[in-house]
Amino acid sequence: MTNNGTALEVKNLAKHFGGVYAVDNLSLKIEKGSITALVGPNGSGKTTLINLISGLLSIDGGAVVVGGAALGRILPQELPAYGITRTFQNVRLFEQMPVLDNILFVLTERGVFGALFERHSEFHLKHAEEVLRLVGLWEKRNELAVNLSYGQRKLLEIARAYAMCNIASKEGSGGKYEVPPVEENREAGVRNRGFLRRRRSRRHAVNNNNVEILLFDEPFAGLFPAMAETVAEVFRALKAAGKTIILVEHDMGIIRRLTDYVFVLDSGKLLAEGKPDEVLARREVVEAYLGE
């Protein structure tokens, strides 16, 4: 690893389903601003790890460290406050809502009363347009998500995660929506400085969509080459903006081409880690994938 600092750390993380350990005392560090791949055979614990980090599964042991705070319990609704967002292995869109609404949903007010008194504005529309144009879905904005093809659905989900990053809005807002420094924002959200203050900080972070870490679960699966290239472009844009990307992926070509660092999991444990070319050539990694 280079020396950009750690964006996210997993310390002795454990998750078991009955007697089966899906994640077994796992520790790893993700470098800031990197594209990191989690690879491993089916059932190796990759998606479980993503679900633990994003709060969709409860942690049985260990902690996830973000912004200097060790979290033993993460609630999904607090995820953006920790500067994290995600996509899902099986695409999860708001199916019977238009494409545009799927993006506007992540751009608007999170609080009940704030949302009640808010109508989406030109600012929201402009931001949504930038994001949808990036993945070539602007023309489909009024179609229901359920009517999109599989690849388009995948792109929309990735666009929704991208919209959480506030990259487009910095240009679109004309300086109207100032984003506080990321470190200050995230640390204020994570530290235990008192309930009210923490809540205010979280709300602040959420409303500005200041996500720094993006978890992608098999973003390239089932995409034809042109769409896969669009996703790769989105990843490059995110990396250029200094975002940290963690992706679960099986395509070794994509991993070699796109990622900076690889963690290989097997049976919930860390099997190997390092630069893609070097790690994917290791005998134990090949054996884990293909058998002895």
Q: Which residues bind another protein (CB under 8 A)?
A: 54-56, 75-81, 85-86, 88, 92-97, 101, 104-106, 108-110, 112, 114-120, 160, 164, 206
**Start-end of H helices in 80-174:** 99-107, 112-116, 122-134, 150-163, 167-172
Name the one residue in this structure whose structure tokens are 């995230």: 186
Q: Are strands 69-71 and 61-66 parallel, antiparallel or unpaired?
A: antiparallel
DSSP class of residue 181 equals P
Q: What's the closest the beta carbon of residue 113 comes to another protein, in angstroms? A: 8
Q: Which CB sits closer to another protein, 93 or 167?
A: 93
Per the CB < 8 A criterion, the answer to whether 46 and 39 are in contact is yes
Q: Which CB sits closer to another protein, 140 or 160?
A: 160
Q: What's the closest the beta carbon of residue 268 comes to another protein, in angstroms? A: 23
Q: What's the closest the beta carbon of residue 35 comes to another protein, in angstroms? A: 21
Q: How many other β-carbons are positioned within 10 Å of the β-carbon of residue 217?
A: 23
Per the CB < 8 A criterion, the answer to whether 223 and 157 are in contact is no
CA 197, 201, 206 angle in degrees (round to 5)?
150
Q: What's the closest the beta carbon of residue 207 comes to another protein, in angstroms? A: 9
Q: Which CB sits closer to another protein, 210 or 259?
A: 210
Q: What's the closest the beta carbon of residue 292 comes to another protein, in angstroms? A: 39
Per the CB < 8 A criterion, the answer to whether 177 and 124 are in contact is no
Q: Which CB sits closer to another protein, 234 or 258?
A: 234
Name every residue whose Cβ is closer than 8 Å to that of residue 289 and which is 6 or more positions away in sequence. 40, 41
User: Which of 85, 63, 81, 60 has its CA nearest to residue 72?
Assistant: 63
Q: Which CB sits closer to another protein, 109 or 273?
A: 109
Q: Which CB sits closer to another protein, 105 or 138?
A: 105
Distances (CA, A) of 67 to 47, 82, 208, 243: 22, 8, 17, 14
Q: What's the closest the beta carbon of residue 194 comes to another protein, in angstroms? A: 19
Q: What's the closest the beta carbon of residue 99 comes to another protein, in angstroms? A: 13
Q: Which CB sits closer to another protein, 150 or 224?
A: 150
